[in-house]
Chain A
Amino acid sequence: MSSYIVTTDHLTKRYGERAVVEDLNLRVPEGCVYGFLGPNGSGKSTTMKMLLSLIRPSSGQVRVLGEPMTRATRRRLLGRIGSLIESPPGYGHLTGAENIGLVRRMLDLEQRQIDLAVRTVRMQDQMDKKVREYSLGMKQRLGIAMALARQPKLLILDEPTNGLDPAGIEEIRRLLRHLADGGVTVMVSSHLLGEIDKTATTLGILAGGRLLFQGTRAELFAAATPDVLIGTADPQRAQALLSGQHDARIDEGLLRLCGLSPDATAQVVSHLVRAGLGIYEVRRQEQSLEDVFMDLTGGGGL
């Protein structure tokens, strides 16, 4: 099991009666880009904070880099973990260079490590400006540079593309791929599938504090049952015949049924044929990853 850099077992966080994160069993393979997806309020930030022991779980365990992450171990483990949670850090009254200089002092890093981190996020020409004058994208990149300066084994980024323009988003994507190629495991959250879809090699999908899916993109496609489309002479009558048993919609003259197993498909077809309806075609429609994501998360809050 040592191939996982982060694992959680039955990880739960409750505020009062309400479980914000519930029974989460994350498995983050070493060296991957793990896309942590979920609508706003689904518990992504809360989970990431528990991975860093910024907040303590109500129940369940977190293991990071092969060790339990607790208040007793966190200071040791955090030296090998870079993170950016919720909003980017930075002291507005100081320049970018002064800000990252603080990180160098606090962590006893070498200037070489700082320069490398700054060049990686392409901020070398902005370091003499005060952080107060930075755009959001520049703040995010400085925050990532601060997280990278310690040359972490694991990078945890919470919605790093939030508020960025398409060029900024593409820049972050390229950066994440570059880091993963260099052997860093990256866990990155987003509420928009499109932002990390092509970058992530493993996906975890969260909704309402529960993990709905975890695996590769290919596994996600396989897990989702494509809709069944039926072409018939009288779609209205077919719909009426199936009402009560199946939720059939009429879509561009075709009958659309979702979540239908192969057996159920056979039953539906024989039912319609016995009722004397002519069936012209029966096929399954491939879904886009976006549709799968929307189906899983109920499209809520996006």
Chain B
Amino acid sequence: MTLMSMIAAEFAKLARSLSWTVVVLLPAAMVLAGALSSLVAGQQPADGWHTVWLRSVVFYGLFPLAIGVAVLGSLVWRAEHRGGNWNALMSTPVSSLRLVAAKTAVIAALAMAMQLVMLLCVTVAGKAVFALPGMLPARYLLISGVIMLATVPLAALQSGLSMLLRSFAAPVAVAFLGAGASTVLLLAEIGPIVFLSPYALATRATQLGTGTFADGGEIAGATVGSLLAATALLSLVTIAGAAAILDRRDTRT
């Protein structure tokens, strides 16, 4: 009943799951859309890798990332809401905290895999479509690392919503609204919102080092530090909150 065996069990449930399709298709579509808009305009990306990154990752961070994680959350919890699975799950000696943590870990891992696919697709687009010189600069690997961590609270929140709501679409709708509101607040340069909203945190992380929205264009140590602090804080609060709710809740009929 260790957390690791729980996580292993959760990954085993993903066999033949639609989740993997989402993980590959969503980032690929984002990069493709970005590349197409450049091609249609008949321009080479003005700032090379930077422009390709902007057009795919920053746009992805505005709301498709939140929607993608929400869909993954609903896919991961969907089977638990079917037939006798909920009763069986709640009749195991596994603690609510472990269960919530394991589900969050799986959804976060899928979200992180999306960022890896994103890196791959951006590289392919830069080389194969635009024949950019050199490789994707290393700074984007660092940025991707921060993005991957910053999606953990988002995964925890969407996991919690999909745990509580039997509906597939409702948590996705919440993500859409949450990401929209957070983007407005980021546009208004209300920085501390990343400590309150997992949507804002993930979106802000995708803007790191790009100079868009409130970003200065540098990978500033203070910015990365506050993003990581917000990640740790929101992850703990969200996971603990979801576990406490699950522990108090009655099973539904």
Contacts and interface: CB of A to CB of B under 8 A. Distances in A.
Interface string B70-91: 0000000001001111011111
Interface size class of A (residues with CB under 8 A): 20 to 34
A98 B12 CA distance: 8
Contacts of A90: 83-85
A54 B9 contact: no
B83 A105 contact: no
Contacts, number: 90
Contacts of B79: 91-93
A39 interface: no
Contacts of A83: 87-88, 91
Interface centre among B89, B93, B250 (most CB of A within 10 A): B93
A59 interface: no
A85 B15 CA distance: 26
B9 A146 contact: no
Nearest to A46: B253
Contact of B250 (A54, A77, A87, A93): A54
B18 to A, nearest CB: 9
A54 B87 contact: yes
A89 B250 contact: no
Interface size class of B (residues with CB under 8 A): 20 to 34
A101 B5 CA distance: 11
A78 interface: yes
Nearest to B95: A75
A94 to B, nearest CB: 6
Contact of A106 (B17, B94, B253): B94
B40 to A, nearest CB: 40
A276 B8 CA distance: 86
B186 to A, nearest CB: 38
Given A54-B250, A105-B5, A105-B8, A146 B88 contact: yes
Contact of A105 (B12, B15, B87, B90): B12
Contacts of B84: 84-90, 143
Contact of B9 (A52, A84, A105): A105
Interface centre among B1, B12, B91, B248 (most CB of A within 10 A): B91
A85 B87 contact: yes
A96 B77 CA distance: 20
A76 B92 CA distance: 9
A81 B87 CA distance: 13
Interface string B152-171: 00000000000000000000
Given A86-B84, A98-B15, 10 more contacts: A49-B87, A52-B90, A54-B91, A77-B93, A85-B88, A88-B83, A90-B85, A93-B16, A101-B12, A146-B88
14 contacts: A49-B87, A54-B90, A55-B251, A71-B248, A78-B92, A83-B91, A86-B84, A89-B85, A89-B88, A89-B89, A91-B79, A105-B6, A105-B12, A146-B88
